[in-house]
Amino acid sequence: MRNMSFIDHIKNCTAHNKTQFTDFCIDHRHVGEVRQDSLEILLETSDFLLENKMLVLAPFLNSAQARTKALKQAINLLAAHHNVKLTGEIYPVIEKWGDTPYAEIDRAAIPWFGTKGFGVHANGFVRKKEEIYLWIAKRDSSRLIDPNKLDNMVGGGLPLGLTIEENLAKEAWEEAGLDKKLISLAISTGSLSYKRDMMKGVRRDTLFTFDLEMPDDITPACTDGEVESFTLMPAQEVAKIVEATDQFKFNCNLVLIDFFLRHNIISTAHKDYDALEKAIGLMKK
């Protein structure tokens, strides 16, 4: 068990060495960042050029279909180089949610090109007298990222073709067995964005976050095998785990710190309150 702090988790999710990356542009728009080893491989193809110290997709690739085809070929080269299996999950290449996609990309390749990734996370909580409890998931040992670590009640990537609300309902059913009627009661709490070097590149993610006050008589139950178990824990106890350890999946710490600030579980008396409020505030912009 590592000695951590809330601030350490913020730093962990914002650890990015810009000097190791080259900006990636499509149609004169900045859409990502590419690490040096991937850059060298991409420049060996005819579909990528280096202009003004930026990696650009060739101008003759002037449609989403053509760009997607070129990216798919490049992704296969990078997958072989990095020895990583593709997921088959398709995500849009966009800068903000709701934009028209410049292209489509396999989820595994998002960090290699540093394009934006999006996800949904929901805190499930219960009020008992004057105390808040949180439903905490334990990730299954088969998960590729952070197996066996603790997690939010609901969380998952946001693929092409689903709205935020549709994907929240999908993930809520798959991961926690919650039906559409119940998850529709979840309250949006905004979004959190971060940039972190990992997975052979950089993750530039935005998480759309929700709070769901759960009925006392409902226990989450996974339906897709991605969660090993759920435990209802006092929020104060969860805060102690987050503050002192790295037992949670890396980005879930951000979602929980935001929850703790909003529900006064991290109070103004905490020594890092001002710094945490500022850091989370910047991630919400």
Phi-psi region of 109 (alpha: psi -120 to 50; beta: other; left: phi over 0): alpha
Helix axes 252-262, 273-283, angle to 10 degrees: 120
Residues in the chain: 285
Question: Measured between alpha carbons, how far is 78 from 64 in angstroms, rounded to an integer?
Answer: 20
Residue 222 pLDDT > 90: yes
What is residue 285's predicted lDDT score, i.e. its pLDDT? 82
Helix (H) or strand (E) holding 110: helix 110-113
Residue 151 pLDDT > 90: yes
Nearest one of 200, 250, 192 to 21, comparing CA atoms: 200
Ordered by where they begin, the domains of the chain are 6-13+117-283 (3.90.79.10), 19-115 (3.30.750.160)
Residue 144 pLDDT > 90: no
Q: What are the CA-CA distances from residue 249 to residues 39, 217, 245, 285 (Å)?
A: 29, 27, 11, 23
β-sheet bridge partners, residue 196: 203
- pLDDT per position as a tens digit, 84-105: 999 999 999 999 999 999 999 9
Q: Identify the band that residue 2 occupies on the pLDDT scale cut at 50, 70 and 90.
A: low
What is residue 70's predicted lDDT score, i.e. its pLDDT? 98
Residue 186 pLDDT > 80: yes
Structure-token pair, residue 225: 């095998």
The SS3 of residue 2 is: coil
Strands 21-26 and 54-57, by their bridges, are: parallel
What is residue 282's predicted lDDT score, i.e. its pLDDT? 97
Structure-token pair, residue 227: 């969660």
β-sheet bridge partners, residue 35: 21
What is residue 1's predicted lDDT score, i.e. its pLDDT? 47
Torsion, CA 119, CA 213, CA 223, CA 251, rounded to 10: 30
Percent residues over pLDDT 90 in the chain: 97
Longest dimension (CA), the chain: 65
Strands 201-213 and 116-128, by their bridges, are: parallel
- pLDDT per position as a tens digit, 72-85: 999 999 999 999 99
Q: Look over the chain and give the mean of its residue pLDDT values, rounded to a whole number.
A: 97
Q: The pTM is what?
A: 0.96
